[in-house]
Amino acid sequence: MIETIANRLLLSIPVLFGVLLLGFVLVQVAPGDPARVLAGPSAPPEVIEQIRQRMGLDDPFFTQFFGYLGRVLQGDLGRSLISNKTVLSELIAAIGPTMELMFACLIWSIPLGIAMGTLAAVWRGSLVDRGVMAFSVAGVSLPIFFICLILIQYVGVQWRLLPFIGRGGPLWTVEGLRHIALPALSLGLIFIGPVARMTRSSVLEVLKLDHVRTARAKGLGEFRVVMRHGLRNALIPVVTLVGLQAGYLLGGAVVTETIFSYPGIGRLAVGAILSSDFPLAQGTILVLALAFILINMLVDVLYALLDPRTQKR
């Protein structure tokens, strides 16, 4: 298992390097001169030239790249061109809310998805099964922004049940919970489908296994059989799924945060890119990629923990 983790870590080094290079190239080839953006619209050419020199924009590519690497390793990601805040401080402020949102989304959608998938498998072919499958296909086919807009329109505007702007505070406060409810609901709705589907098919597999058949032969109820023998094994693929779908979830979070004016990394990234704030865009992309790598590593570890067979592989 340690080997798995080590492997994973080694693998992530070139990936990280790639992300850094990508982020760096981004600023290099982006339209618009960063010095010009920094200097402001009416700055005379001399000022722009000064800034170019100070930023080292005329140095050779690799000198600049390694300079950038060195700064990143020291935690210096530069300052946002738009807000003048250090990129690091903006990122730190946004990471918490995004993690909260992810947590609030997964905490309800995974259990519900697993429950739905299990029920569908146990009552295979029944109305419940069909309902769950239809729901999950519809779920993965709905554009996330549509879900968000519908929820805002009905829950937020017509019924006035929940707020839909910004973050109300930490998760453990009433306002925090009220504000995160709609974004977490939207994001979770697109995630239940894949979870339910995956659970259903893996529970079905498990039901075919010998010891489960024996248990069933002993006259135990279908549901009990599943709970006692099947679910643990059936959960393994579900864990993998969360890792595989992390990118999908991340994409959903970008849209959800933007629509709900929720101050997370996704909204920060979109804002930075739309306003050509290159250092900040660089920073957000770096953090998002890091998060993605981390999630996948965690999933690998979890997988290894849950499934003793992986050690043999």
Q: Which of residues 242-271 bind another protein (CB under 8 A)?
A: 246-248, 250-251, 254-255, 258-259, 261, 263, 267-271
Shortest Cβ distance from residue 105 to another protein (Å)?
A: 14
With binding defined as CB under 8 A, does residue 145 bind another protein? yes
Out of 184, 189, 293, 304, point to the residue binding another protein (CB under 8 A): 293
For residue 52, give every residue at least 6 positions away whose Cβ sits within 8 Å of its Cβ, in sequence order, or none.
Answer: 33, 35, 58
**Alpha-carbon separation of residue 14 from 1, 113, 169, 250, 290 (angstroms):** 21, 35, 37, 22, 12
Q: Which of residues 80-139 bind another protein (CB under 8 A)?
A: 80-85, 90, 93, 108, 115, 137-138
Rounded Cα distance between 23 and 20, Å, is 5
Out of 153, 170, 213, 221, point to the residue binding another protein (CB under 8 A): 153
Our CB check for another protein shows the closer of 214 and 291 to be 291
Shortest Cβ distance from residue 232 to another protein (Å)?
A: 16
Our CB check for another protein shows the closer of 14 and 217 to be 14
Out of 201, 236, 302, 303, point to the residue binding another protein (CB under 8 A): 201
Shortest Cβ distance from residue 65 to another protein (Å)?
A: 15
Residue 173, sorted as left (phi over 0), alpha (psi -120 to 50) or beta, turns out to be beta
Query: CB 156: neighbour CB atoms within 10 A?
Result: 19
Our CB check for another protein shows the closer of 53 and 261 to be 261
Query: CB 259: neighbour CB atoms within 10 A?
Result: 20
Give the interface size with another protein as a residue count (CB under 8 A): 94
Our CB check for another protein shows the closer of 79 and 229 to be 79
Our CB check for another protein shows the closer of 42 and 74 to be 42
- Contact range with another protein by CB under 8 A, out of 59-67, 121-129, 141-149, 305-313: 141-149
Shortest Cβ distance from residue 11 to another protein (Å)?
A: 6
Shortest Cβ distance from residue 46 to another protein (Å)?
A: 11
Our CB check for another protein shows the closer of 8 and 214 to be 8
Are 86 and 78 in contact by the 8 Å Cβ rule? The answer is yes
With binding defined as CB under 8 A, does residue 60 bind another protein? no
With binding defined as CB under 8 A, does residue 178 bind another protein? yes
Out of 3, 42, 74, 127, point to the residue binding another protein (CB under 8 A): 42
Rounded Cα distance between 66 and 56, Å, is 12
Out of 104, 144, 206, 235, point to the residue binding another protein (CB under 8 A): 144
- The torsion angle over the Cα atoms of residues 287, 253, 182 and 157, rounded to 10 degrees, is 110
Rounded Cα distance between 105 and 10, Å, is 31
